[in-house]
């Protein structure tokens, strides 16, 4: 059975209106990364950080999946082999488009995490600094987001997927962020065909066997149709 692993990044959600800290304007413009996306920032001002993620959560719930998200969900449904999406995005647009096999390596806006005992539960729309962990009852609720300086989630499982896949496809990622930047080399070393789909060539495009430039909502559906036309 053939296996496809797809890494997705900010570029796939940008067309749904969700910006990142690299963009001008938007939610991030009023904040410094070290204030809202590090454990130290959260320790300094938990209320500011909770409010920031409350706004991002509300914005993500209002956003709609685009043609690229829907195409990847269709691939998972119709491909005869296995399709796994590993996303750097913290929104739920893959799931809302119908993808079921999604790993959130940088966490998930819809998740709450207890900093005390590690318990996870669905985030309320508005998280408050007085929220108690439903398990240990400690007041230690934080967004289930991997901040700068923290370890991405599920890395062992992700490396296993990369080493056993037939295709590794990167969609809308800059190639600047470790460990994701190293995924292509590892997958290629273990025999995968590697493909980059991006608005412009990424920092690691030379590591890919094949690359296509364009809007995710154009080039992802095109690539999915090509894969399905031969392997449906």
DSSP class of 151: P
DSSP class of 108: E
166/190 Cα distance (integer angstroms): 9
Q: What is the CA radius of gyration of the chain?
A: 18
> In the numeric block, which tokens belong to residue 208?
């890919």
Region 136-155 residues binding Zn ion, contact defined as CB under 5 A: 136
Q: How far is the CB of 193 from Zn ion (least distance, A)?
A: 43
The answer to whether 117 contacts Zn ion (rule: CB under 5 A) is: yes
User: Which residue, 31 or 120, has its beta carbon nearer to Zn ion?
Assistant: 120
Buried b (16+ CB within 10 A) or exposed e, 194-207: bbbbbeeebebeeb
The answer to whether 98 contacts Zn ion (rule: CB under 5 A) is: no
Half-sphere exposure (CA, 13 Å, Cβ side) for 34? 0
The answer to whether 119 contacts Zn ion (rule: CB under 5 A) is: yes
Q: Please indicate whether residue 69 is annotated as part of the active site.
A: no
Candidates 1-9, 68-76, 112-120, 215-223: pick the segment binding Zn ion (CB under 5 A): 112-120
The answer to whether 165 contacts Zn ion (rule: CB under 5 A) is: no
Q: How far is the CB of 140 from Zn ion (least distance, A)?
A: 6
Candidates 37-45, 50-58, 107-115, 163-171: pick the segment binding Zn ion (CB under 5 A): 107-115
- Residue 214: left if φ>0, alpha if ψ -120 to 50, beta else—which one? left
The answer to whether 33 contacts Zn ion (rule: CB under 5 A) is: no
Q: How far is the CB of 147 from Zn ion (least distance, A)?
A: 18
Catalytic sites, residue numbers: 106
Binding residues for Zn ion (CB under 5 A) = 114, 116-117, 119, 133, 135-136
């Amino acid at each position: 059975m053939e296996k496809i692993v797809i890494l997705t990044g900010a570029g796939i959600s940008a067309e749904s209106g969700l910006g990142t800290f690299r963009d001008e304007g938007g939610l991030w413009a009023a904040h410094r990364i070290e204030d809202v996306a590090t454990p130290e920032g959260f320790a300094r001002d938990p209320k500011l950080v909770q409010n920031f993620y409350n706004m991002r959560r509300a914005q993500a719930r209002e956003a709609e999946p685009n043609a690229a998200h829907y195409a990847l969900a269709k691939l998972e449904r119709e491909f005869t082999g296995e399709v796994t999406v590993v996303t750097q995005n913290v929104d739920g647009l893959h799931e809302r488009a119908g993808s079921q096999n999604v790993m959130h390596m940088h966490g998930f806006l819809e998740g709450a995490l207890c900093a005390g005992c590690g318990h996870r539960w669905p985030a309320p729309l508005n998280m408050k600094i007085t929220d108690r962990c439903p398990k240990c009852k400690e007041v230690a609720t934080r967004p289930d987001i991997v901040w700068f300086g923290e370890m991405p989630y599920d890395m062992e499982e992700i490396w296993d997927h990369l080493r056993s896949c037939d295709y590794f496809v990167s969609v809308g990622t800059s190639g600047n962020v470790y460990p994701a930047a190293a995924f292509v080399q590892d997958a290629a070393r273990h025999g995968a065909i590697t493909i980059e789909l991006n608005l412009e060539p990424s920092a690691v495009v030379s590591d890919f066997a094949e690359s296509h430039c364009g809007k995710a909502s154009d080039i992802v559906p095109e690539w999915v149709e090509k894969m399905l036309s031969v392997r449906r």
